[in-house]
Structure 1
Amino acid sequence: MSGMVVELSDASFSEDVLQAQGPVLVCFRAEWSGVCRALDPVLVDVAKEFAGRLTAARLDIDRSPETPPKYDVTAIPTLHVFLKGEIVATRIGPASKGNVVELVKPYV
């Protein structure tokens, strides 16, 4: 899965994120949001840059509505960095690649 953005669901979240061995960047998003769609290439770039050290993933809040409320997601896009099942960093709203790298760098 390294170098790719992992598609998450309510069913896969626990295994793919909470039980992951390393840091996981999760983008909570919706397909109808232009801001979220604009973040997609940034996630791909970050996944490639940190391949083997970070898992980049995204969760569609409409297809998987159970997970976002558990992590206080009230706006999209919300980026959470999870480490050992805990949120260690958060950014809400639009983000450049530099913003995302700054968010994840302390954990890779």
Structure 2
Amino acid sequence: MTAVVEVTDSTFDPVVLRSDRPVLVDYWADWCAPCRQLDPILEELAAEHSGRVTFARLDANANPVTPAERQVLGLPTLQLWVGGELVTQVRGSKTKAQLLALLADHL
């Protein structure tokens, strides 16, 4: 069972924007090689930090509305949401250390 939550256009608001904890959203697509490289890192972080941060992924091909509304211009894009507000956004594949640094203030 995966520790990363799948979100869609219809579940983005309740899962991400109304969450009582920080949410790191991974915008991905199946054709994106860097997205696939990021998957195991996100799974590992999600398992290590469950209960403190929610890790979510949104398939940009199957759910085009949310990425367009959130100005996602390339894949993979990672957005950190806290209290319904976008705190930071990074694009491209990242290492575990880089993601931990991104989350440091919220762990």
TM-score under structure 2 length normalisation:
0.95
Alignment match, 1:60: 59
Give CA deviations for 1:86-107 in whole Å, capped at 9, x if unaligned.
1112111110111111111212
| Two-structure CA RMSD over aligned residues (Å) | 1.0
TM-score under structure 1 length normalisation:
0.94
**TM-aligned CA deviation for residue 79 of structure 1:** 0.4
**What one-letter code is carried by the residue in structure 1 that aligns with 2:11?**
S
SS for the counterpart of 2:89 is: strand
* Over 3 Å off, 4+ runs: none
* Separation in structure 1 between the aligned mates of residue 10 and residue 48 of structure 2, nearest angstrom: 27
**What one-letter code is carried by the residue in structure 2 that aligns with 1:88?**
V
Percent identity between matched residues is 39
**What one-letter code is carried by the residue in structure 2 that aligns with 1:29?**
W
Give CA deviations for 1:35-68 in whole Å, capped at 9, x if unaligned.
0011000110110121110000000000000000
* Separation in structure 2 between the aligned mates of residue 94 and residue 4 of structure 1, nearest angstrom: 19
Aligned residues: 106
| Structure 1: gaps (5+ residues) | none
* Separation in structure 2 between the aligned mates of residue 81 and residue 29 of structure 1, nearest angstrom: 15
Mapped pair 1:87 → 2:86: yes
Alignment match, 2:46: 47
Alignment match, 1:107: 106
